Amino acid sequence: MEGAPLRVPAGASAAAAVLLAGLFRIRETPVSGAPRLPYCMMGVCFDCLAEIDGVANRQACMVPVAPGMRIRVQHGARVALDGGAG
């Protein structure tokens, strides 16, 4: 979790791991930059978007944890294409 090891029950979701870790945010929204944490825990609200194993914008509540998984805060919008207009 953000580079630090964390023990999580087998079968838990990555979003549960985020809450267990006690982070203050797992993402910042791309529009207003507001901090967010997992909310609905059932794949609907998209507030738990995180970078998981190097892939941006994954719904952490829909991803079961696995040994060695790397979860990082999603900062703003994902970059779709390096060197794009942004």
Partner 1 sequence: MPPSHDSIVIGGGLVGAAIAWGLTGQGLRPVLLDEGDVAFRASRGNFGLVWVQSKGFGAPHYQRWTRASAGEWPALAADLAARTGRDVGLRQPGGVQLCLSDAEYEERAARMAQMRAEAGNFGFDYRMIRTPELRGMLPGLGPRVVGASFTPYDGHANPLVLLHALHRAFTEAGGTYVPNAKVEDDIHAAPHDFAVTAGGQRFAAPRVVLAAGLGNAALAPHFGLSAPVRPQRGQVIVTERTAEVLPMPVTTIRQTTEGSIMLGDSVEEVGFDTRQRPEVIRVIAERAVACFPWIGRLNIVRAWSALRVMAPDGLPIYDQSEAYPGAFTANCHSGVTLAGAHARLLAPMIAAGALDMERLGLLSAHRFAHGEAA
Residue from 6, 25, 57, 73 touching partner 1 (CB under 8 A): that is 57
Select 2 or 28, whichever has its Cβ closest to partner 1.
28
**Minimal distance, residue 59 CB to partner 1, in Å:** 8
Is 70 a binding residue for partner 1 by CB under 8 A? The answer is no
CA 61 to chain centre: 9
Q: x/- string (CB under 8 A) for partner 1, residues 3-22?
A: --------------------
Burial of 67 (0-12, 13-18, 19+ CB in 10 A): exposed
